[in-house]
Chain A
Amino acid sequence: MIKQTFRVADMSCSNCAMKLESLEDSLDGVKEINASYHKLSMTVEYDETRLTAAQIVEAVKRKGYTAVPA
């Protein structure tokens, strides 16, 4: 398990953070996601053997946002 922080600059309200956290339910290998509109960032704890940072970035993109590894 690793923890990685991504910057998501295009969040516009706290609901965006909720949407990003919902990836917990759909991304295999994710243990926990903490997204913050205040900080415009999300921290993902995931199993690096089952998931890559690129896959997370892609999943975030499907939600309508742009994530950049911090």
Chain B
Amino acid sequence: MTKQQNPFSDPVVLVTLGVVLVAVAFALLIFQPSGAQTIAPASGAWAQIVVAFVTGLTTGGLSCLAVQGGLLASSLAHQIEQDFLAHAPKTHPKKHAKKIESVPAPHANSALPIFLFLVAKVAAYTLLGALLGWLGSFLSLSPMTRAFLMIAIGIFMIGNALRMFNVHPIFRYFSIEPPKFITRYIRRTAKGADTFTPLFLGALTVFIPCGVTQAMMATALGTGSALMGAALMLAFTLGTSPVFFALAWLTTTLGAKLEKFFMRFVAAVVLIFGFVTLDSGLNLIGSPLSLQNLTRAWFAPSSASAPALDADGSLTVNVQNQGYFPRTLRAAADTAFTLDLVTNETYSCARDFVIPSLNFYQLLPASGTVQVNIPPQPAGTKLFFTCSMGMYTGQIVFE
């Protein structure tokens, strides 16, 4: 192993700290009470960005490094070769500059290529997120379309997680293999020796995304907004940066066994997110098979939280930032009534109110009351309602 120096004299450490600080600043910005107009801090969109950032910070870095580490090593190869020549001119440096497993801990001069690689990667993925979100805007014509997209994304994430767990060979097909002409082009470009190479290779990482990144790209597509897609991918790649840097730096000390352990951790996290996304999609189509709708009966509210009709023959749901209250309402079968949706300083995605089976969708005002006419329903019917992201749900039981 290499001898230890004062870590703060190493620009790699300084750049790493810089990236960590940027990441922390970004995290603080996320939790700041006031913020952008288009992505309100209390909104579900903001929650998605936080999740993307935390996903990057916790699992994305390692997963990305496993797939894109070779490119980073290629970016560093020329610099390391020069460092090696400077320090040991009588040996054969090319042997030491070829593969990631032979890359020593980055030296002082490695800071710039690492930094350029990462900057290009963050920029490229942000643009990709914008593009995906923009493309998604053509797909998200209705909550139903979004629901099917979320279900597809959830299945994709679960499939990828099962692939990482090596459950069955069929799950290997959930991994997207880049076309050979792209991988060959990337490989040949990686031999470049100029400062442009790390920038270019960092940008090229969009063509070889890791499993977690692919899942995040699918989520960006599902946002249906260029701004949101870009913000999501920016948060994610920014989140991956500290871990990516730290692990790149520790490449020589991170053993294969430890890496395998982390990959299983990554797979577990992707699996959980996959099920959450799938469940949200099921909520959004009003399926009784979603986890929330299936388990609602187990936590069935008492009669106190399942009010009868108001005096004027209506039912009231309080739409709050944390969801819908009460979550279960009871109504008389075969009788039409009015559902009053009451908001009061509500800014979360609960405002995007959807009743899938009635094909009803409306963005509620932040404060106020919106009335929905509910047609007669036969006894035993459960009318599910949800937010447009499938996060918050409720039901009306007709009896």
Contact = CB atoms under 8 A, between A and B. Distances in A.
Interface of A: 12-15, 17-19, 21-22, 24-26, 34, 36-38, 40, 63-64
Interface residues of B, number: 25
B173 A18 contact: no
Q: Pick the most buried of A24, A36, A37: most chain B CB atoms within 10 A of its CB.
A: A37
Interface in B178-207: 178, 180, 183-184, 186-188
Contact of B184 (A12, A21, A26, A36): A21
A13 B211 contact: yes
Contacts, number: 49
Contacts of A38: 172-173, 175, 177
A25 B94 CA distance: 14
B281 to A, nearest CB: 26
Contacts of B183: 17-18, 21
8 tightest A-B contacts by CB?
A15-B67, A14-B177, A18-B183, A38-B172, A14-B175, A22-B187, A38-B173, A37-B177
A15 B187 contact: no
Contacts of A17: 177, 183
The B interface, classified by DSSP as helix, strand, loop or mixed, is helix
Given A36-B177, A37-B175, A38-B177, A13 B67 contact: yes
Contacts of A36: 177
Which of B67, B70, B172 has the most A CB atoms < 10 Å from its CB? B172
Contacts of B177: 14, 17, 36-38
Interface string B148-192: 000000000000000000100100110111101001101110000
A22 B177 CA distance: 15
Contact of B208 (A15, A21, A24): A15
- Output the residue of B70, B166, B175 with the most chain A CB within 10 A: B175
17 contacts: A12-B263, A13-B175, A13-B210, A14-B175, A17-B177, A17-B183, A18-B183, A21-B187, A22-B187, A36-B177, A37-B175, A38-B172, A38-B173, A38-B175, A38-B177, A40-B169, A40-B172
Contacts of B263: 12
